[in-house]
Structure formats: C-alpha cells, structure tokens
Amino acid sequence: MQTNKIPLSFYREKDVVAIAKSLIGKYLFTCIEPANIITGGMIIETEAYKGAEDRACHAFNNLRTKRTEVMYAAGGLSYVYLCYGMHHLFNIVTNEKDVPHAILIRAIKPEIGIEVMLRRRGLSRVTAKLASGPGAMCKALGITTLHNGMPLDGTTIWLEDRGAMIAPSDILTTPRIGIDYAGEDVLNPWRFLLQQSDL
C-alpha cells in the first residue's frame, strides 16, 4: 500500500503555493493507535502559508515560538496545532530549514478505513462532513498534537501519489478563509480545492 509514498524531497521545493496546488489529488493516510488501521483518502482542499512575509502565517515576521519551531525545520514534517482549544489542524512543513512555510490540509475524500473514520467522528454514515474542514479531517484520521513534528514518509502519517489525473481546470483557486486578521494577505489566492468532488 505504501509503494507510492511521496519522498521528503517533494516538500523541500521552494514554492509553497505550487506545492499546495500539486497536493490536490494526492493521498493522505494515517495508521494511528488504538485502531491501528490505515485511514485516509484523496486530498481535495489545501491552503498555502508563506512564512515570514505572510500575515496569515503563524511564523509571520519570523515569529519563533515553541509552537512554531517545527515550521523552521526542513520540509516534510507535520505541524499540528490546536485551534480555539478544540480542533486539531494538520499542516505540512515545506521548503528548506529556517524557511517557515506550511500547507494546511483542509479536506480529504475518504476512501480507506471509512468505518474507523465514522466511529472517530461519531457518525453513522458517510456525509460531506466526514473529513471536510481541517478539524473534522484530523478527527476522522486520528491526528492530534501528539503527532506534531512527525516525518511524513513514516508509518504513522504519510502521503502517496497514486497517479490520479487532475486537470488544471478541475482545481478551483480562491483566497484563503478564516483569516480576516491578515490585512492585505487575505486576498492572496492560495487556497485550492477540487471542483465537482462528491464529498
């Protein structure tokens, strides 16, 4: 199942916006205790955060704290934080060491381990809400802050390229959402989502 795992070098390219767009159609998987069952699916929504120059980024103006330190590592690690004290959000650290870029994974289309995901979410059937929205997605996949800083080529959280053919016209580009505090950076078209996804 893991033969198409994306190498860490993929995340160390310099253009975080291009990486965020190219992740549409890739697959995100977890194998997390206690279920110890693989869960995951196709990535269908992402947002790019461009480090020191991006007012919406936790590392804006090179802010370096205990929480953001992982963003300064070389690309290919998870950055998981708690939002509003309730929702875990999963991000992928990109670029080279000391350049704090990251990509928020906002949604997947569930394909593997759906029964486990339903149980984690307290749902009885698959709906559009199962793994759509970054908090719901993390809950479905079992991702918490315990998984912060993990390499994304391991056996707990990883990404795969399964050869999905996504036409550029199928990817909608919009400004990011939920960042009203970010001044003029609110308008940056750094959110990508797969159009006509049934979830």
- Answer whether residue 66 is part of any domain: yes
The conformation of residue 82, written as its DSSP 8-state character, comes to E
Give 45: exposed, middle or buried? Use CB within 10 Å, 0-12, 13-18, 19+: buried
* Coil, strand or helix at 149: coil
- Answer whether residue 154 is part of any domain: yes
Which tens digits make up the pLDDT trace of 21-73? 999 999 999 999 877 899 999 999 999 999 999 989 999 988 889 989 999 99
- Answer whether residue 69 is part of any domain: yes
pTM over 0.85? The answer is: yes
- Answer whether residue 2 is part of any domain: no
Which tens digits make up the pLDDT trace of 124-137? 999 989 999 999 99
- Answer whether residue 125 is part of any domain: yes
- Answer whether residue 136 is part of any domain: yes
Which tens digits make up the pLDDT trace of 15-30? 999 999 999 999 999 9
What total of structural domains would you count in the chain?
1
Q: Which two tokens stand for residue 198?
A: 């049934």
Q: What is the CATH number of the domain that holds 124?
A: 3.10.300.10
Domain, as residue range, for 134: 8-193
